Amino acid sequence: MHATIDVRLTVSIDDDKTIPLATLAEFITDRNVESALLESLVESLDAARVEALCGEKHATGNGDNRFQRAGTDTRTAVTTAGEHEFSLHYVQDTAADHDESSYFRPVEDMIAFDGQNRYQQDIAAKGVDLATSLSYRDTADHGDGIFERMPSPTTINRRAREYGGKLKQFLPDCVADTDADAVIPDGTKCHSQDDDRSYHSVQATLGEDTADESRSLLDLSVNADWDETAAELDDKDAVTDDATVVSDAEEGIVTAFTDEHTDHQLDLVHVGRTLDYNLWDDGVFSMDQRNEIVSEVIDEVFHLKNSVAKHRPDEEFAAIRSRIARTTDRIEKTAWQLDQYGSEKATGYLRRWLQSIVTFAEAAIEGFEVPWTSNPVERLMGEVSKRCKNQGMRWTAEGLEAVLQLRLVKYADPPHYQSFLDKLLQRSTKTAMSCDLSIESTGGKL
């Protein structure tokens, strides 16, 4: 079906005035040309569909047709093109069954409105996209400066929940068979407005393909159990059987993601700060003594990191083995000395996590690259803080998970986020449309 719209646009400018191009662009935009074109297009298609069903208006014999004109009604809608009022026809199907509605809008066979929603998917998606960075109130305020009409904060909130839920259902197909060889999980907390808890636990898991140097968000959950997350990722084949887990010293993460086939790499950046806390908690050493102990351990750890970076490219594995042995020996000696002084927690920390400190170096000897830091997921937690931890923010579990699905997928996996929006807005249907535009301008008139 074709629709042709004849448009005449006349713009007059005083001869003694110089108008900035930006002002002219703003002037044309304020005329809501796109909105008027869309309304005319839809009403033209509506008229063509009605005529195809009911015959030409006032034509002889129309009264014998199955489909009869049944008046018009106004359908309002808001899109990125503007705010619209469509005058659309109703048609009666005189042969409809008694249990079926006999009245319908023929144009809706071609043009699908978003149910009874006034704000259509395009403008709603723009609002939700802004809401991944701004509060719902700020989104509505800022959007009004970009689009003719923006949804209210309440509507944006509702759509964010809806689209966040749809995105969560969309993601499993994206991460299935990812076969990440490094898993980087971490968690944080956000204030809750639910009655049963003060905080919500946010758990995010990144997968990294070290060969391609690519990362994907494998899972985002709220108030979930790490064991459940690990099992679900295993069912989806999102990680390899021998993937290395890179994290801080949270036992829940290590227990959930590691087994006899999976090693753990402790984030080396955390070693100094966690050791310092344990030394302080033991209360055995002065601040200067604690700083000296921590400095010695950090020097050993990062000397090992630098040694791997230096010798791995040239496959100088003997040098790496030597450095691993030296680092292990010195940390074991430090742990023994701390034990003699009665610093139990610091001793336990070093002995518990020593093997995890050198995992990346041992993997290098085998020809594999293992990240020595969980910094990528730490940055992801920073995105959580920027959106969800501002002063006064409190969340329901559903609302928090929805907005973080959108925020973190957009941050960590822009292609997946874009694919989701393409599916949501059914952009593939653009292939069913074509448009020819011709413009002639004469005498300063367009």
Half-sphere exposure of 260 (CA within 13 A, CB side): 0
The band of 179, judged by pLDDT with boundaries at 50, 70 and 90, is: confident
Q: What is the mean pLDDT of residues 164-188?
A: 88
Q: Strand 264-266's sheet: what is its strand order?
A: 214-222, 199-209, 180-191, 239-247, 264-266
Q: Which amino acid is at 354?
A: L
Closest listed residue to residue 74, CA positions, set 114, 118, 34, 30 = 118
165 burial class (0-12, 13-18, 19+ CB within 10 angstroms)? middle
Residue 214 has phi, psi (to 5 degrees) of -115, 150
Residue 442 above 70 pLDDT? Answer: no
**Average of per-residue pLDDT values in the chain:** 91
Q: Which amino acid is at 97?
A: D
Higher-scoring residue by pLDDT: 442, 176: 176
Quote the percentage of the chain above a pLDDT of 90. 74
Are the C-beta atoms of 1 and 48 separated by less than 8 Å?
A: yes
Give 323-331 contacts, CB < 8 A, sequence gap 24+. Answer: 323/361, 324/358, 324/361, 324/362, 326/300, 327/300, 327/301, 327/303, 327/357, 327/358, 327/361, 328/354, 328/358, 330/296, 330/300, 331/297, 331/300, 331/357
Residue 251 has phi, psi (to 5 degrees) of -60, -35
Lowest mean pLDDT among 217-221, 392-396, 435-439: 435-439
C-alpha to C-alpha distance for 361 and 228, rounded to whole angstroms: 30
3-state secondary structure (DSSP) of residue 87 = strand
pLDDT of 443:
59
The pTM for the full model equals 0.86
For 414, the token pair is 């822009």
C-alpha to C-alpha distance for 253 and 258, rounded to whole angstroms: 8
Quote the percentage of the chain above a pLDDT of 70. 98
C-alpha to C-alpha distance for 112 and 119, rounded to whole angstroms: 13
pLDDT of 4:
82
Q: Tens digit of pLDDT for each residue in 160-174?
A: 999 999 999 998 888
Give the number of other CB atoms < 10 A from CB of residue 270: 17
pLDDT of 446:
47
From residue 37, give the alpha-carbon distance in Å to each of 75, 127, 356: 16, 23, 64
Q: Tens digit of pLDDT for each residue in 322-362?
A: 999 999 999 999 999 999 999 999 999 999 999 999 999 99
- Maximum Cα–Cα distance for the chain, whole Å? 108
